[in-house]
Amino acid sequence: MTLMNSYKQLLLLVALLLNISLIAQSELEIKLFDLPDVVFTKIDTPNEYEAAYKLMIKQPLDHSNPTAGHFYQRVWLSHKGYSNPTTIITNGYARGSNNINEIVTLLDANQLNVEHRYFGESMPDSLDYQYLTFEQVAQDYHHIRQLFDNIYTGKWAASGISKGGTTTIFYKYFFPNDVDVSIPYVAPLNYEFEEQRIYDFLDNKGTPECRANMLAYQKRLLQQREAILPLLEWFVKGKGLKFNYLSLGEAYEYAVLEYPFSFWQYGWDCGKIPSESASLETHIDYLLEVVGLDFFADDSMEAFASHYYQSATQMGYYGYETEDFAGLLKYLPYEPHPHAAFTPNKMEVKFDATLTNKVAKWIEKHGHRMIHINGDLDTWSATATPKTKGVDALWYFLKDKHHASARIKNMTDDEKSLLYAKLNEWLGTNLK
């Protein structure tokens, strides 16, 4: 065979492969075009995928009353194959770009990465919060599942992280047969507005020496407030942060009270807590590193307003114990405890624990085909769904793992083997 013939054959092979790829993409686009109320735009394709699209899917504001209006929900589709498994990623917040989750890679799955209603671009024209309920959220995912049943023929999974994991749990509760497996990561399921289990966790986590050092550090920050706040004003100016929802003084005290929650949520080192002899700058830098002030600034309050509304009405959240800080708080009350749910425009809302408690009881008896992944360091593990007998499910509380590290890739070989075996049983995969 001559060099010229080999070159021609190579060109023909490349052209054939390109043509096959174009046909596959064109076929998918035809299928997408046939879906009602779906607008799509092609985006960069992730490695090892055939195509990817940004979708805007029309959703009713009220699934029980279509005349109430609608909004368009942003969804990122990554396409691998029509008969591959498909995973719905149940985000709890905005999803501003496409990314492939670890469970999707593990399952060699298509991915529908769904932005939560009332976040990011998934906003109605008018923010009528009466429609921001977990009942409506679950209906959003169910509608997407029904739409894509017209395209994908393989098994289905749902998965989310943190509040997205909580959303996975609610989706499972309302539509238990929509997917073949549900995998919530580091997902709280709170029973009340001010979760007492969080306090129990923080009062007992770590060694007594570590907890004593943390408390002493908090007290020093409050005792030196008048020296610290002027320095923070320069930090705030440099970062362009605005404090109208909270004053800077309020935000600072919230950050100090937040410190133990953030410390354990992301597994910080007890040995790195600043000592009494450390400089004021060291104390400030450490607080900004572990907690930050951005979390309490106006931009954050606006970005997470819908989350706080859900926390204050249905989901439950956490507050801050103040009993150890007698005489040290200036801007925040001692009673009732300051709370971390900063509702939009400080609106007054009523919390109803009915749903979360119903879901918790249902999971105990009917939460089959679920894999709950948590880290034992993570503060949110305090309100994770507790392990129960009698259901076909797995629970993980991974040793020395926190909110960001409680992942399948960080499991031991034995933990992975058990998880793979269940996924193989439920999905017909061949994971090893």
- Are the C-beta atoms of 161 and 183 separated by less than 8 Å? no
Exposed/middle/buried for 412, CB within 10 Å: 0-12, 13-18, 19+?
Answer: exposed
As given in the structure block, the two tokens for residue 406 are: 């409680």
Q: How far is CA 405 from the centre of its chain?
A: 13
Q: Which pLDDT score is estimated for 26? A: 83
**CA–CA gap between residue 324 and residue 261 (Å, rounded):** 15
Helix axes 208-223, 280-290, angle to 10 degrees: 110
340-to-73, 148, 192, 267, 305 alpha-carbon distances in Å: 27, 37, 13, 20, 12
CB crowding 37-58: b at 16 or more within 10 Å, else e = ebebeebebbeebbbbbbbbbe
Q: Which pLDDT score is estimated for 21? A: 55
**CA–CA gap between residue 354 and residue 140 (Å, rounded):** 21
357: helix, strand or coil? helix
> Going by C-beta distance under 8 Å and a sequence separation of 6 or more, which residues neighbour residue 64?
none
Which uninterrupted H or E stretch holds 58? strand 51-60
> Going by C-beta distance under 8 Å and a sequence separation of 6 or more, which residues neighbour residue 303?
93, 94
Using the structure block, give the residue that is written with the tokens 């008018």: 126
303: helix, strand or coil? helix
Dihedral, CA of residue 316, residue 317, residue 321 and residue 322, to nearest 10: -100
pTM: predicted TM-score of the whole model, two decimal places: 0.93
Q: Which pLDDT score is estimated for 129? A: 97
**Strands lying side by side in the sheet with 370-375:** 38-42, 51-60, 70-79, 110-114, 86-90, 156-161, 181-185, 370-375, 393-398
> Going by C-beta distance under 8 Å and a sequence separation of 6 or more, which residues neighbour residue 104?
78, 87, 89, 110, 111, 159
pLDDT tens digits, 52-71: 999 999 999 999 999 999 99
Domain coordinates in residue numbering, the chain = 1-34, 38-191+355-427, 196-346
CB crowding 300-333: b at 16 or more within 10 Å, else e = bbeebbbbbbbbbbbbbbbbbebeebeebbeebe
Asked if the bond preceding 336 is cis, omega within 30° of 0, the reply is yes
**CA–CA gap between residue 21 and residue 19 (Å, rounded):** 5
> Going by C-beta distance under 8 Å and a sequence separation of 6 or more, which residues neighbour residue 146?
none
As given in the structure block, the two tokens for residue 339 are: 């709370």
> Going by C-beta distance under 8 Å and a sequence separation of 6 or more, which residues neighbour residue 15?
none
Identity of the residue numbered 339? H
How many residues make up the chain in this entry?
432
pLDDT in tens, the chain (432 residues): 555 555 546 555 555 555 555 555 589 999 999 999 999 999 999 999 999 999 999 999 999 999 999 999 999 999 999 999 999 999 999 999 999 999 999 999 999 999 999 999 999 998 999 999 999 999 999 999 999 999 999 999 999 999 999 999 999 999 999 999 999 999 999 999 999 999 999 999 999 999 999 999 999 999 999 999 999 999 999 999 999 999 999 999 999 999 999 999 999 999 999 999 999 999 999 999 999 999 999 999 999 999 999 999 999 999 999 999 999 999 999 999 999 999 999 999 999 999 999 999 999 999 999 999 999 999 999 999 999 999 999 999 999 999 999 999 999 999 999 999 999 999 999 999
Identity of the residue numbered 205? K
- Measured from the Cβ of residue 256, the count of other Cβ atoms closer than 10 Å reads 24
- Are the C-beta atoms of 245 and 346 separated by less than 8 Å? yes
CATH for the 38-191+355-427 domain, from 3.40.50.1820, 3.40.462.10, 1.10.150.240, 3.40.190.10:
3.40.50.1820
Helix axes 248-265, 225-239, angle to 10 degrees: 90
Q: Which three-class secondary structure string do you get for 144-193?
A: HHHHHCCCCCCCEEEEEECHHHHHHHHHHHHCCCCCCEEEEECCCCCCCC
